[in-house]
Structures are given as C-alpha cells and as structure tokens.
Structure 1
Amino acid sequence: LKGRVVENISKRCGGFLRKLSLRGCIGVGDSSLKTFAQNCRNIEHLNLNGCTKITDSTCYSLSRFCSKLKHLDLTSCVSITNSSLKGISEGCRNLEYLNLSWCDQITKDGIEALVRGCRGLKALLLRGCTQLEDEALKHIQNYCHELVSLNFQSCSRITDEGVVQICRGCHRLQALCLSGCSNLTDASLTALALNCPRLQILEAARCSHLTDAGFTLLARNCHDLEKMDLEECILITDSTLVQLSVHCPKLQALSLSHCELITDDGILHLSNSTCGHERLRVLELDNCLLITDVALEHLENCRGLERLELYDCQQVTRAGIKRMRAQLPHVKVHAYFAPVTPPTAVGGSGQRLCRCCVIL
C-alpha cells in the first residue's frame, strides 16, 4: 500500500472513519499519516504495526489532530523515541490501548511522560523495550490504576522491585507477561498473589529462578487463572501442579516445556482436577524427560483436551499416543521419534550414527 492511497482514503472517509489498520504497510510514511490525521479527526482505532518508515513526526500529527484515539499499535516502529510518548500524552488523553513492542529506543523518561497524560490506559504492551528498568514500572504504578493487561516480555533489566511496584498500584491486572525477565524470583509471584486476585493470564517463560513456593502462593490466591506459560521454569516440580489442580479450576492452557522435574504423578493430579475434567484445552510437555506413557493414560480424563505437545519426551512411545488418541480422537498430538540407531557395520569399521540422524 502506497502513501497516496492512505491520503485518498482519508480524504474520502474524513470524519466518518473510526478504525483503520495499516499493519505491515512499509511504504506509508510520516507525510501520508499527517494528511490522514488532519482529515480523520474522529479516528479511534489505528494499527501501524510494522510501518517502519514512520518517526516521531507521525505521533506529533496524531497528538495534534486525533484527540479521540483510544487504540494505537506502534509495534516495530523502531524510529519511535520518547518524544513520541510525550506528544501522545499531551494530545491523546483518551488512549486505552498502546502497543510499543520492539520500540527499543523507549526509556523510563518516555514512559513517565506517557503515563502522566494517559492515565486511563487499560493495556500497555512493551515487549522488547530492552532499555526499561524498574523505575519505568514505578511510573506506571503511580498513574495507571486502570490497567488490566501489561506485557514486559524480554525487558531483561526488570527485577522484583519493579514487579512489586506494579502489583501494588494495578490491582485490576488480568494479564501479565514477564517472559524473559530472567532476574525475577518468588518475590514477584508473592506480590502478584497478594495484590492481583483477578489475574487470568501469566506468562513467565524463562524465569528460571521461580519455584514451587511462589507458585503455591499464587495458586492459592489467584483462582481465576486460565492460561500459564511456565516454559523453562526449571525449578518447579509436581508440587506446583498439585496446587494448580486444587485452586485453579478455570485453567485452560498450561505450558511446562523444559520443566524437567515434572513427572507422571503431577499429570495425574492435573488430570483428576476440575480444570482437567472440564477446562484444560492445551498442555505443553515437550522436553519433560520424566514423562512416560502413564501420563498419557491419566490425560484420557481430560475430555476437552485439544492439543498436546510431547516433543523430546523420550519415554513416551507411539503405542502410548495411539492408546490415548483412541480415547481422545480429537486431540492434536505433536511428538517426534528419532530413527533407530543402525547396527554396526560388519568388521566394526563403519561409523555408528546417533539416534537423531536420518540415514540418507
């Protein structure tokens, strides 16, 4: 899509246009969007995801002419800086949703400027904003008490101190992504448990310091949990599954990829729980090395299961999967079985291949 097309759309639609997606329109730049902003002053929902040509100039235009804007997606607009956030905060005070993922020039100063003006934000997505530190989270906590969704994926400088601040100020939080925030410990889970009882989605992949103790407290206080991504939370054991089974009856999706201490016994508790019987749709167990066919027998109780990940579960067999699918024919099972190691060549001179190699 060329810039002139956007200009023509804006001239034809004018004040009638409320929603527009230009996702991936790499040919659209600041000049076209200035014309758009001038003509479409009633725009409420604007998606500029992947419009990599735009700069702070576009945000100035939106700030000046589009005061009714509620939803703005600037994902991967990598030229955006703190100046854009200052402009948005001054002119777009009705903003409820803002996605700044991978805008990696943003710092705590930009966040402070933003939240001072946009206090009604309900969703703020900051994936890959790698310069953000705890002080940015403190600013969010001070001004944005309506937030229900926050995403800090790969904001690796964030520590427990920042998460604790967020939890103390954002009691309505329903979805939180902390995946890749590798400094976090159980102190963050404790803060969530004590302050955010409405939590439904928690993504904590690669937070390798989190333990059963933290998830126990979380499960006992956050009974509305529906989706949890615990990939590479390598310290958790079946104890976490026991607590989730008892206290989180709404759980629909659970990732335990690379949680190598999980055993068949943990799956037994999950399968026999209310969520197992009634809600569980997705379960990811890839690289859980202690899982065997016994776990698949337990999962036959999960009548609503739709997808099961079993890559590199080396003790799971084709026969075990076949037996389970006989009981749950609708479930999609993703697994991998390495080819059998060929015998040594006669005379011992041939090279022996590992089980992961395919003979061509």
Structure 2
Amino acid sequence: IFSFLDIVTLCRCAQISKAWNILALDGSNWQRIDLFNFQTDVEGRVVENISKRCGGFLRKLSLRGCIGVGDSSLKTFAQNCRNIEHLNLNGCTKITDSTCYSLSRFCSKLKHLDLTSCVSITNSSLKGISEGCRNLEYLNLSWCDQVTKDGIEALVRGCRSLRALLLRGCTQLEDEALRHIQNYCHELVSLNLQSCSRITDEGVVQICRGCPRLQALCLSGCSNLTDASLTALALNCPRLQILEAARCSHLTDAGFTLLARNCHDLEKMDLEECILITDSTLIQLSIHCPKLQALSLSHCELITDDGILHLSNSSCGHERLRVLELDNCLLVTDVALEHLEHCRGLERLELYDCQQVTRAGIKRMRPSSLTSKSMPTLPLLPRRQQWEGMDHGCAGAVSSSDGSHPAWGFKRHPFLQSTVSLTYSTVTHIC
C-alpha cells in the first residue's frame, strides 16, 4: 500500500507510530519524489539524505526550482542512485558541467533529463552526457544559451535514442546543429527550436528529411523561415500533430495549404503573428485537418468572419475544436461568434482587442456554446502569454508528467497549487 503514496502522505504516515515509520520510510516506497512544493527551502543536504535512504530504488526525482541544490549534492546523489531514469533539474541555477559529469559517470540508465535554465551548462556537459547516458530519450536544454553546434554534435553522436529534444532559447544554434541532429536522431518525434533566431529554411529542411517521424515541432520566433520550411514539413513529416510557428511572419497561405493537404493528423497549431495568412489557410485546415483541436490566429489581421465560418462548419469545428485564439483579429465581428456556436466542444475563445466584436454579440452566444465555466468577457479576456510549447508532449511522444515540460501546445493558465499542510521541517527531518 505504501508504494502507492506520494511523498507528503508517506511523511505523514511516518509520524503515526514507530512501526509505520519503518514501513513508510523503506527505500522501496520512495521510487518517485517531487520536491517542487518545497523548492525554496530544499538544500543540498536534503538531496544527499534522500539519495542515501532511497539508493538504488529511486527511479524519478524532480528538483524543479530547487535553487539551493548544487554540484556537490548531486554528485552524492548520482553515486547513490544509479538506477535513476527521470531527473528534473529545471531552474537549478547553481549546477555546472560538474553535475553532468557525475550523471555521466554513475547514471547510465538515465532516460529523461531536464536542464532548463541551468545557464552554466556548456558543450562539455553534452559531451559527458553523450558518453555515459546513451539511453537518453528526452533532453531539455531550454535557455542553456552557452550550447553551440559543437555541443549538439557531441550529444547526438552518443545519444541516438533521443525522441524529444528541447532547445528553446539556445540562441547560438545555427543550421549546422540541425544537420547533426538529422544525421543521428532518426527516432526524434519532438523538437523545440523556439527563439533559435539563427535557424533558416536550410536547417528545417535537413531536420524534416532526417526525422520523418516528427510529431511536434516548435519554430516560434525563428523569423527567417519561409514557405520552404512548410514545404519540407509537408513532404517529409506526414505524422506531424503539433506545429508552433508564432512570429514567423514570412509564412503564407501557399505554405500552409501544402502542409494541410499532407499532414492530416494536425491537432494543435500556433500561427500567432503569421501576418500574411488569410481565410485561405483556414479553409484548407477545415478541409484537410479533421483532428484540429487548438488553433491560435492572434494578430493574423487578415482573418475574417468567412474564415471562421469555414472552420466552424468543418468536421473539426463541430467535434474537435477546443481552443481558438483570435486576439487582435481586427476584421472579426459578431458574425464570427454566431458561426462558432456550431463548435460544440469549444472550451476557450480569446477575443482580446477584437474591435468589431461587441458585448451584445458575446451575450447572444448561448451559454452552452462554450463548455468551460467562463464565457468570453470582451475585451477583457486575459491575454494569452507566449506559448512555451511541447511540455506535455503529443500522442506517441516522450512527455513530462510533472509539469516540467516539454509540454507542447497551448500554455496552461496559471493554477493554484494545492495547499500542503505538512511543513518543510518535517520533510527535512525525515529525509
């Protein structure tokens, strides 16, 4: 029974009696630990004590946001927990290449590693990981901006089983880095290149040719891309389910038409600030993409009511569409809202700064038109922040279950963390 309990419940059980203390703190019950709720207080000694208690039983550890944890503690952890498979170090800003050396030396079974915002990580870390963690399937290097093409080359030569690679904000990466990925990562299904502004069509074409199993791709902020990238996707990646191309302002209807006609499994698309697209793109998506669930058209100022009509009358509009973002679509009017009443599954509709949509139009929408509890309150809907893409994965992709992301798709609205009555001091005492 104890093996099914979370860390908080185990700690509570350990305080009931001596017998329960022994049972609850048995290392076999501590295979998965998430210290996110205690992130501001967790120090290195806590991680060291946990590693000594759990030893080879520990399979999954999340230290997301634990800024007090450094290289020394993680070296002890790596030495004691050699069966670790899933490690989240997102936001552990004190760690350096030394931690990756330790993981490489002792944790050969590692499959999932999140190093988001570990800004001291360099190419040396990737070389170490490639030599000792060859079973790695998921790696998040978002905002590790010291990483270059040389680090990527070293990584992919050794870690050829990678299925998800997140490189958001790795601003030094160029097309050559993608060529290395193309050559070695043929199993890749999820790739995030958000804000890798040096990437061009040449790099995307290489990825598409070398990674035909790609299901989720984020190109948001790669402002040099043109329809050549969409053409490569259309011709090489028929399994594509998620595409984020926000702020790719050179993409046009022609590229999205070809994409829609070849990628019928598309479920989520972020086209915010693709300022050249018109209703023609919506018509093609309506015809060829029956699985579409989430679509952002914010700041696509050429979209009109007619495009919304085609979308709402399509099979995806009737049955699948859950999220539609139309912020700053200046040509959209109350007529579009009437069309959207046919979208029976719609849960979220964003209309921020849609100047021609009126409160009267909102009121006329039947309460059943949106299945969520909140109807749009024009024009005051909370503006959607930038999609951060790929943090929950897509069907068949490697995904993160602890909220660390990659989560792909729309960024979730902030939610309240459940209150934990157990104090931090209790956890540190037990651990």
Deviation at 1:356, TM superposition (A): 56
* CA deviations over 1:215-270 (Å, ceiling 9, x no partner): 00000000000000000000000000000000000000000000000000000000
In 2: Cα distance, 1:347 partner to 1:314 partner: 47
In 2: Cα distance, 1:194 partner to 1:230 partner: 20
1:1-360 alignment to 2 at 5 Å? 1-325=42-366
In 1: Cα distance, 2:161 partner to 2:269 partner: 27
Equivalent pairs counted in the alignment come to 339
| Partner secondary structure for residue 173 of structure 2 | coil
In 2: Cα distance, 1:66 partner to 1:158 partner: 33
Structure-2 change in CA distance of 1:101 and 1:346 (3 Å): closer
Q: TM-score, normalised by structure 1?
A: 0.90
In 2: Cα distance, 1:35 partner to 1:70 partner: 19
| Partner secondary structure for residue 20 of structure 1 | strand
In 2: Cα distance, 1:118 partner to 1:59 partner: 14
Structure-2 change in CA distance of 1:247 and 1:65 (3 Å): same
In 2: Cα distance, 1:349 partner to 1:200 partner: 42
* CA deviations over 1:187-238 (Å, ceiling 9, x no partner): 0000000000000000000000000000000000000000000000000000
Deviation at 1:355, TM superposition (A): 58
| Partner secondary structure for residue 87 of structure 2 | strand
In 1: Cα distance, 2:45 partner to 2:424 partner: 66
Give yes or no for contact 2:279–2:306 (8 Å, CA) kept in 1.
yes
In 2: Cα distance, 1:278 partner to 1:313 partner: 25
Structure 2 unaligned regions, length at least 5: 1-41, 367-417
In 2: Cα distance, 1:43 partner to 1:82 partner: 23
| Partner secondary structure for residue 348 of structure 1 | coil
In 1: Cα distance, 2:427 partner to 2:358 partner: 21
* CA deviations over 1:296-336 (Å, ceiling 9, x no partner): 000000010000000000000001011114xxxxxxxxxxx
Structure-2 change in CA distance of 1:351 and 1:167 (3 Å): closer
Structure-2 change in CA distance of 1:150 and 1:349 (3 Å): closer
* CA deviations over 1:156-181 (Å, ceiling 9, x no partner): 00000000000000000000000000
| Partner secondary structure for residue 139 of structure 2 | strand
In 2: Cα distance, 1:89 partner to 1:253 partner: 36
Task: Kindly report the root-mean-square deviation, in angstroms, between the aligned alpha carbons of the 2 structures.
Answer: 11.0
Structure-2 change in CA distance of 1:61 and 1:261 (3 Å): same
In 1: Cα distance, 2:324 partner to 2:256 partner: 18
Structure-2 change in CA distance of 1:115 and 1:355 (3 Å): closer
Structure-2 change in CA distance of 1:312 and 1:4 (3 Å): same
In 1: Cα distance, 2:426 partner to 2:43 partner: 58
| Partner secondary structure for residue 353 of structure 1 | helix
Deviation at 1:347, TM superposition (A): 64
In 2: Cα distance, 1:354 partner to 1:46 partner: 20
Structure-2 change in CA distance of 1:184 and 1:346 (3 Å): closer
Deviation at 1:350, TM superposition (A): 59
Give yes or no for contact 2:196–2:222 (8 Å, CA) kept in 1.
yes
Deviation at 1:113, TM superposition (A): 0.1
Structure-2 change in CA distance of 1:320 and 1:4 (3 Å): same
In 1: Cα distance, 2:171 partner to 2:154 partner: 18
Deviation at 1:351, TM superposition (A): 60
Structure-2 change in CA distance of 1:350 and 1:55 (3 Å): closer
| Partner secondary structure for residue 162 of structure 2 | coil
Q: TM-score, normalised by structure 2?
A: 0.75
In 1: Cα distance, 2:100 partner to 2:172 partner: 21
Deviation at 1:110, TM superposition (A): 0.0
In 1: Cα distance, 2:427 partner to 2:265 partner: 49
In 2: Cα distance, 1:240 partner to 1:321 partner: 26
Deviation at 1:128, TM superposition (A): 0.1
Structure-2 change in CA distance of 1:116 and 1:79 (3 Å): same
Give yes or no for contact 2:131–2:158 (8 Å, CA) kept in 1.
yes
Deviation at 1:354, TM superposition (A): 57
Percent identical residues: 93
| Partner secondary structure for residue 176 of structure 1 | strand
Structure 1 unaligned regions, length at least 5: 326-343
Structure whose alpha-carbon radius of gyration is higher: 1
In 2: Cα distance, 1:303 partner to 1:116 partner: 48
Structure-2 change in CA distance of 1:255 and 1:44 (3 Å): same
Give yes or no for contact 2:140–2:165 (8 Å, CA) kept in 1.
yes
Structure 1 segments of 4 or more deviating over 4 A? Answer: 344-357
* CA deviations over 1:130-169 (Å, ceiling 9, x no partner): 0000000000000000000000000000000000000000
Structure-2 change in CA distance of 1:239 and 1:4 (3 Å): same
In 2: Cα distance, 1:154 partner to 1:323 partner: 40
Structure-2 change in CA distance of 1:310 and 1:59 (3 Å): same
In 2: Cα distance, 1:177 partner to 1:297 partner: 32
Structure-2 change in CA distance of 1:5 and 1:217 (3 Å): same
Structure-2 change in CA distance of 1:65 and 1:242 (3 Å): same
In 2: Cα distance, 1:288 partner to 1:256 partner: 8
| Partner secondary structure for residue 106 of structure 1 | coil
Give yes or no for contact 2:46–2:428 (8 Å, CA) kept in 1.
no
* CA deviations over 1:63-101 (Å, ceiling 9, x no partner): 000000000000000000000000000000000000000
Structure-2 change in CA distance of 1:13 and 1:124 (3 Å): same
Structure-2 change in CA distance of 1:82 and 1:300 (3 Å): same
In 2: Cα distance, 1:167 partner to 1:39 partner: 41
Structure-2 change in CA distance of 1:91 and 1:323 (3 Å): same
Structure-2 change in CA distance of 1:96 and 1:182 (3 Å): same
